[in-house]
């Protein structure tokens, strides 16, 4: 029999093999690949004991007397189960989050069994936050929150444990300062930069900020950005979203040299940047803020006249570390498979590829099909071919694969899996997943 330390290492490796997209979500940081561990946990009592902390590290429970009582019974019957739980998602209807005394007491009783809890996701209210503040759990996570809701937080409640996953900042009247002063952290912020003056950006500090999305246009100056970055040492990613505008039409930091080069090589008319993201290097190589960041994501709109190979070759020469690439195809655009793969192979860090718009034009066959199932199968085959040739890719996102006359669309994630771990590199890779079918006028089918 193998040493237990080795078995622990094997189980932890299997447990951490979650999908690329899930690994990007902070509230899933305790969610392991439980389905892969289940067979292993049934091999012996020793393996069950080793797997248990990973199998039940992340638990979701629906608000309600019936579900809470059943959960309490499980905790009482198996103390090992209760102490394994590190992350709890308390599922509530966000439209009915209110402080009913019975619900608050039920929530308090629930937490008393979870002595080793490290984070809990809730729909925040005064009552629930009061219970959390009396428990040893260090972090309470709230999802997308309306930061301007008048009844959201009582001034008497400490927010030192509260981490808001995402929130939109659409005006600055000092309203958020009171929340930050009481300890609240905002992990991801969406800001319409056109609604704020440079002075406000220079003075603003968002506690706990890791991810920033800026909605900008050609009227917005970004001269304040370096100072803003210096005041937010936790900031890891900035996304510049241009909406209906085209970033190649005016000066934008991080990508201005690329735009100039594309224009000088006659690719300016083929270049339309809808969005791009930069990621912070840790640790930073120098004290200069511009050296701390690299372009990690790019959204390119591809007109039918574009030479995709040339455009992506130039993109790679400036931004070789891109790991998320989005290609939005104009109607009737055609991208030869060999040209696309040859261009994508240059990006050695590429992990996710998103195809938006008229993605049926990618397929050699099926682009005139009216059968959604055939189109889905063709796209799975197409993305599997790419995955076998580019070993770093972990997922594809497909958006709006349209049927004839727009009668239906397909969208969703296809994740890369390896069927034969011992096979030659790349040979066993294929994509799996189920695309969502939306029919015109009927929504999700």
Residue 14 placed within a domain: yes
User: 66 and 115 in one domain?
Assistant: yes
- Give the structural domain span for 10: 1-55
SS3 content of the chain, % helix, strand, coil (to 5): 35, 25, 40
Same-domain pairing of 8 and 76: no
Q: What distance in Å separates the CA atoms of residue 237 and residue 234, rounded to the nearest whole number?
A: 9
End-to-end CA distance of the chain: 51
**Could you tell me if residue 40 is inside a domain?**
yes
Calpha distance 175→303 (Å, rounded):
44
Residues 68 and 109 occupy one common structural domain: yes
Best CA proximity match to 311, nearest among 298, 323, 296, 321 = 298
Entry field: residues in the chain: 445
Residue 373 domain-assigned? no
Domain final residue, candidates 21, 40, 55: 55
The residue whose two tokens read 């080795």 is 6
Q: How many CB atoms lie within 10 A of CB 308?
A: 21
Tell me the sheet residues that pair with 280. Answer: 293
Q: How far is CA 324 from the centre of its chain?
A: 11
Task: Answer yes or no: is 294 within a domain.
Answer: no
Among 55, 75, 91, give the residue marking a domain's end: 55
- For residue 190, being part of any structural domain is answered with no
Residues 64 and 123 in one domain: yes
Cα atoms in the Cβ-side hemisphere of radius 13 Å centred on 385: 13
* Residue 383 in domain: no
- pLDDT of the chain along its 445 residues, tens only? 678 888 888 888 777 765 544 444 444 455 566 677 888 888 888 888 888 888 888 888 888 778 888 888 888 888 888 888 888 888 876 666 667 788 888 888 889 889 889 899 888 888 888 999 999 999 999 887 877 765 556 777 889 999 998 888 877 667 788 888 889 999 999 988 877 777 777 777 889 999 999 988 777 788 888 888 988 999 999 999 987 666 666 678 899 899 889 888 888 777 788 899 999 987 555 445 556 899 999 998 877 656 788 889 999 999 999 999 998 877 666 677 888 888 899 999 999 999 886 555 566 544 455 678 888 888 898 899 999 999 999 899 988 777 656 678 888 899 898 875 555 544 688 998 888 888 766 556 5
Instruction: Give me the number of domains the chain comprises.
Output: 2
β-pairing verdict for 352-357 and 324-329: parallel
Q: Measured on CA atoms in the order 159, 163, 167, 171, is the torsion positive or negative?
A: positive
């Amino acid at each position: 029999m193998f040493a237990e330390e080795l078995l622990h290492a094997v189980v932890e490796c299997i447990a951490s093999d979650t999908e690329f997209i899930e690994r990007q979500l902070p509230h899933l940081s305790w969610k392991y690949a439980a389905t892969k561990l289940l067979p292993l946990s049934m091999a012996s009592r020793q393996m069950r004991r080793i797997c248990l902390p990973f199998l039940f590290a992340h638990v979701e429970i629906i608000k309600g007397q019936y579900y809470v009582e059943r959960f309490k019974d499980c905790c009482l019957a198996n103390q090992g189960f209760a102490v394994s739980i590190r992350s709890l998602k308390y599922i509530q209807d966000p439209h009915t989050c209110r402080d009913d005394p019975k619900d608050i007491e039920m929530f308090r009783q629930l937490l008393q069994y979870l002595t080793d809890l490290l984070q809990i996701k809730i729909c925040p209210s005064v009552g629930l936050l009061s219970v959390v503040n009396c428990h040893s759990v260090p972090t309470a996570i709230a999802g997308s929150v309306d930061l301007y809701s008048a009844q959201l937080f009582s001034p008497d409640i400490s927010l030192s444990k509260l981490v808001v996953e995402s929130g939109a900042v659409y005006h600055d009247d000092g309203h958020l300062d009171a929340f930050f002063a009481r300890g609240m952290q905002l992990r991801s912020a969406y800001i319409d930069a056109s609604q704020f003056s440079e002075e406000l950006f220079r003075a603003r500090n968002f506690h706990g900020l890791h991810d920033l999305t800026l909605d900008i246009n050609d009227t917005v100056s970004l001269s304040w950005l370096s100072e803003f970055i210096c005041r937010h040492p936790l900031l890891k990613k900035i996304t510049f979203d241009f909406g209906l505008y085209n970033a190649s039409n005016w000066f934008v930091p991080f990508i201005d040299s690329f735009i100039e080069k594309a224009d000088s090589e006659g690719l300016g008319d083929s270049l339309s940047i809808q969005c791009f993201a930069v990621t912070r290097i840790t640790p930073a190589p120098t004290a200069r803020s511009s050296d701390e960041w690299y372009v990690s994501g790019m959204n390119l709109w591809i007109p039918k006249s574009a030479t995709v190979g040339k455009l992506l070759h130039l993109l790679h020469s400036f931004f070789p570390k891109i790991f998320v690439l989005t290609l939005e195809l104009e109607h009737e655009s055609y991208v030869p498979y060999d040209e696309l793969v040859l261009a994508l192979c240059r990006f050695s860090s590429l992990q996710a590829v998103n195809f938006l718009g008229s993605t049926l034009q990618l397929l050699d066959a099926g682009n005139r099909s009216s059968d959604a199932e055939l189109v889905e199968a063709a796209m799975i085959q197409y993305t599997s071919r790419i995955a076998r040739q580019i070993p770093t890719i972990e997922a594809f996102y497909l958006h709006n694969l349209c049927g004839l006359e727009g009668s239906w669309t397909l969208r969703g994630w296809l994740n890369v899996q390896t069927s034969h771990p011992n096979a030659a590199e790349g040979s066993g890779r294929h994509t799996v997943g189920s695309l969502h079918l939306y029919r015109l006028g009927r929504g999700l089918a």
